Amino acid sequence: MFSFCLSGCLYPEDRKAENQTPYEDQLSAVQKAVDEYQNSQGVLPILNRDEGTPIYQKYPIDFNRLIPRYIQEPPGNSFENGGVFQYVLVDVETNPTVKLIDLRIVEEIRNYQFQINQYKRENKYPPYEKIIDDNIFQLNHKELGFDSTPQVKSPITGNHLPFIINGQGELFVDYSQDLYQFLQEYDDKFQEGEDIRDILVKHSPFVPVFSVPYTVKDGEPVFLTK
């Protein structure tokens, strides 16, 4: 589930301020380098990931292939250069597009997941609160020793989003608030049964990391379950 190894001291204090902003010019520079590399080499400059890797984490950009011919160095806000973002590609088959993963979310989820795994070892089952949908549960924060429901700040909207958990005890971010906001703000049309997460990708520099599929029903986001 987790494709990144992070530590609490990953980001030096003196570099946090300058390297935690998703600058459009840096995204554009990487996009240009990726396009030129693909045109020249016939393949994409990506790292290999397992087939089961979640789609938005599946195609991280390999800057070693781009330096120095296509780009002088990784952007200052990239993980490779001391920043807090992982540069990834989406829509690799038809229109490879550069997007970002906010690694601070990855680190937060890793820490919560560790506590959930520890709870499972001690209690033989995950800390469920109640069923939300098929194989989707509300996290029982009290069982984990929290006074309130843990939340994570969305890099997409700034909303504070709750977590959800599946039957295997895997933790995800509930992007319902972000999806509802974007469905109201933009004119993208979706059919019921169609995964609507791409609306977040289309209108934001970030991908909804650690998300589950959603669709739309009566104009509102709902979990897309099989």
Residue 22: band (very low, low, confident or very high) from pLDDT cuts 50, 70, 90: confident
4 pLDDT above the threshold of 90: no
Task: State the pLDDT at residue 19.
Answer: 73
User: Rounded distance, CA 109 to CA 173, Å?
Assistant: 9
Residue 138: band (very low, low, confident or very high) from pLDDT cuts 50, 70, 90: very high
Domain ranges for the chain = 13-95, 104-223
Task: State the pLDDT at residue 212.
Answer: 97
Task: State the pLDDT at residue 225.
Answer: 84
**What pairing do the DSSP bridges indicate for beta strands 171-173 and 160-166?**
antiparallel
User: Rounded distance, CA 126 to CA 112, Å?
Assistant: 12
Task: State the pLDDT at residue 66.
Answer: 98
Number of Cβ atoms within 10 Å of the Cβ of 226: 5
* 48-62 mean pLDDT: 94
User: Rounded distance, CA 119 to CA 44, Å?
Assistant: 41
User: Rounded distance, CA 47 to CA 106, Å?
Assistant: 18
Q: Which amino acid is at 60?
A: P
Residue 21: band (very low, low, confident or very high) from pLDDT cuts 50, 70, 90: confident
Name the phi and psi angles at 37, rounded to 5.
-65, -45
User: Facing residues of 86 across strands?
Assistant: 101
Burial grade of 35 (CB within 10 A; 0-12, 13-18, 19 or more): middle
Residue 7: band (very low, low, confident or very high) from pLDDT cuts 50, 70, 90: very low
Name the phi and psi angles at 105, rounded to 5.
-65, -40
Top pLDDT among 36 and 3 is at 36
Task: State the pLDDT at residue 89.
Answer: 98
Task: State the pLDDT at residue 203.
Answer: 98
Task: State the pLDDT at residue 3.
Answer: 44
| Structure confidence by residue, pLDDT tens digits, 87-121 | 999 999 999 999 999 999 999 999 999 999 999 99
Task: State the pLDDT at residue 36.
Answer: 98
Task: State the pLDDT at residue 17.
Answer: 60
Mean of per-residue pLDDT scores for the chain: 91
pTM (2 decimals)?
Answer: 0.89
Burial grade of 100 (CB within 10 A; 0-12, 13-18, 19 or more): buried
Tokens read off for 106: 């990855």
